[in-house]
Amino acid sequence: MSLTRPSTTSLYTLSFWLLCVSNFLFSASFSMMIPELPDYLARLGGREYVGLIIALFTLTAGVSRPFSGKITDTVGRVPVMAFGSIICFFCGFLYPYLITVWGFLTLRLIHGFSTGTKPTATSAYVADVVPATRRGEAMGMLGLFTAMGMSLGPAIGSWLADDYSMNVMFWTSSAFALLSIAILLRMPETLMNRQPFRFGLLRLKKEEIFDKQAIPPFIVLLLQSFSSGTILTVISSVSSSLGIANKGLFFTVYTIASLAVRLLFSKSSDRYGRVPVLFISTSVLALSMVFLVLTDPLDKHALIWFWSSAILYGMSWGMNSPTVQAWTADLSDERTRGRAMATMYIALEAGIGLGAIASGWLLNHWIGEIGVDASFAVSGALAVVAVFYLAWYWQQGIKAKRQRMNDADEMALLDGEP
């Protein structure tokens, strides 16, 4: 018996478009402040804690994933999405009032619950409402709106902070989150046989924490997302060293590249397979890290390497994100789809958090550009490891397919015997 409302044959329904717009507002809400937070924390007297800006955010996001997965599979998709947006709304509103280092870091810890809940339920919702054969395309289109929010958010945030104030930026972030909640109110729930929320649902059994079916996407995303933590922590200082006034422009360029890839190649993983597409996109990710290592402020070609890296980085994630999500949905059981999505996102948060902590440590303990280059070098090396893992997994899949064909041929011969 199906536990969710059956997918329609149509992909672009009203519910799907509402979800896309809500995701745009949500991603713009939390991303618009990212480029300005390192300098903001330094002005509060917490320069040595810059690496914690992203790490604390991803810590609570990762910790909340198993809970959000279970609640998504029992209480419903829409309530969990709304909860994530509500957290964003309150945190954006409170940043201007918590002006001590520890107050700021505490709020970052709480803010992480937003991305620990909404994306989990959103991915499960999309998998519910679109045909299985078009999941890659659907995740790509949803990611298109998310990427637009991630692109415009940092640029808007830096503009508001420079031309108005940090407080105006924080309050605008809060307003975006409020609008994303309002849109969710019009969306029908897709989970059938829902349960009312009770605190007993927050008690997790061992098998409810991690979905074993999602292990392959977990490994790949963990290795890929380390670079994201590095970028979020380091790229603003690299931009400053190159004389780029708006520290959000790198995010804008890579997201525009991501948008272009999603528009042109959104159906590629549905057509050619998840693993082959990830093999190519992860290779591009590794190359983008190499270009950042080559970005030397004293080199006359530094800006070429820098912007080329932004483009390659965006191209890689334009394929990585929707393909990993679709791959996870393919491998998951309908009854525990929320748990599978949560497991995938745990890898994302863990990778980003580790990348942020490692790059923050390298920046504080290694002199000048050495720490920056080391951060990008480690990120590139881990991406290469992911490429080798995907090559191995791809080869195992080919062997398994050949074995099934051989078994089928043997069965056909046996059936044909007198």
Whether residue 73 is contained in a domain is answered as yes
pLDDT at residue 29, as a whole number: 92
pLDDT at residue 11, as a whole number: 67
pLDDT at residue 411, as a whole number: 62
Task: Measure the CA–CA gap between 35 and 345, rounded to whole angstroms.
Answer: 23
Whether residue 8 is contained in a domain is answered as no
pLDDT at residue 415, as a whole number: 61
Mean pLDDT of 92-107: 89
Whether residue 197 is contained in a domain is answered as no
- Which pLDDT band holds residue 414 (cuts at 50, 70, 90)? low
Q: Letter for the amino acid at 290?
A: V
| Max mean pLDDT range (127-141, 173-187, 196-210, 398-412) | 173-187
On the question of pLDDT at 418 being above 50, the answer is no
- Which pLDDT band holds residue 10 (cuts at 50, 70, 90)? low
Number of domains in the chain: 1
pLDDT digits (tens, 9 = 90+) for 143-163: 788 878 877 888 888 889 888
Half-sphere exposure of 133 (CA within 13 A, CB side): 4
Mean pLDDT of 310-325: 90
Whether residue 196 is contained in a domain is answered as no
pLDDT at residue 310, as a whole number: 93
Q: Please tell me which residue, 2 or 72, carries the higher pLDDT value.
A: 72
pLDDT at residue 131, as a whole number: 79
pLDDT digits (tens, 9 = 90+) for 277-311: 999 999 999 999 999 999 887 788 889 999 999 99
pLDDT at residue 304, as a whole number: 92
On the question of pLDDT at 120 being above 60, the answer is yes
Whether residue 4 is contained in a domain is answered as no
pLDDT at residue 2, as a whole number: 44
On the question of pLDDT at 47 being above 90, the answer is no
Q: Please tell me which residue, 200 or 411, carries the higher pLDDT value.
A: 200
Whether residue 5 is contained in a domain is answered as no
The rounded mean pLDDT for the chain is 84
pLDDT digits (tens, 9 = 90+) for 245-269: 777 788 878 878 888 887 777 778 8
For position 362, which CATH number holds?
A: 1.20.1250.20
Q: Can you give the residue range of the structural domain that contains 246?
A: 14-189+209-414
Q: What are the tokens at 271?
A: 């057509």
pLDDT digits (tens, 9 = 90+) for 330-384: 888 877 877 888 888 889 888 988 898 888 888 777 656 777 888 999 999 999 9
Whether residue 202 is contained in a domain is answered as no
Whether residue 9 is contained in a domain is answered as no
4: phi then psi, degrees, rounded to nearest 5: -130, 160
What's the per-residue H, E or C state across the chain? Answer: CCCECCCCCCCCCHHHHHHHHHHHHHHHHHHCCHHHHHHHHHHCCCHHHCCHHHHHHHHHHHHHHHHHHHHHHHCCHHHHHHHHHHHHHHHHHHHHHCCCHHHHHHHHHHHHHHHHHHHHHHHHHHHHHCCHHHHHHHHHHHHHHHHHHHHHHHHHHHHHHHHCCHHHHHHHHHHHHHHHHHHHCCCCCCECCCCCCCHHHHCCCHHHCCCHHHHHHHHHHHHHHHHHHHHHHHHHHHHHHCCCCCCCHHHHHHHHHHHHHHHHHCCHHHHHCHHHHHHHHHHHHHHHHHHHHCCCCCCCCHHHHHHHHHHHHHHHHHHHHHHHHHHHHHHCCHHHHHHHHHHHHHHHHHHHHHHHHHHHHHHHHCCCHHHHHHHHHHHHHHHHHHHHHHHHHHHHHHHHHHHHHHHHHHHHHHHHCC
Whole-model pTM: value is 0.72
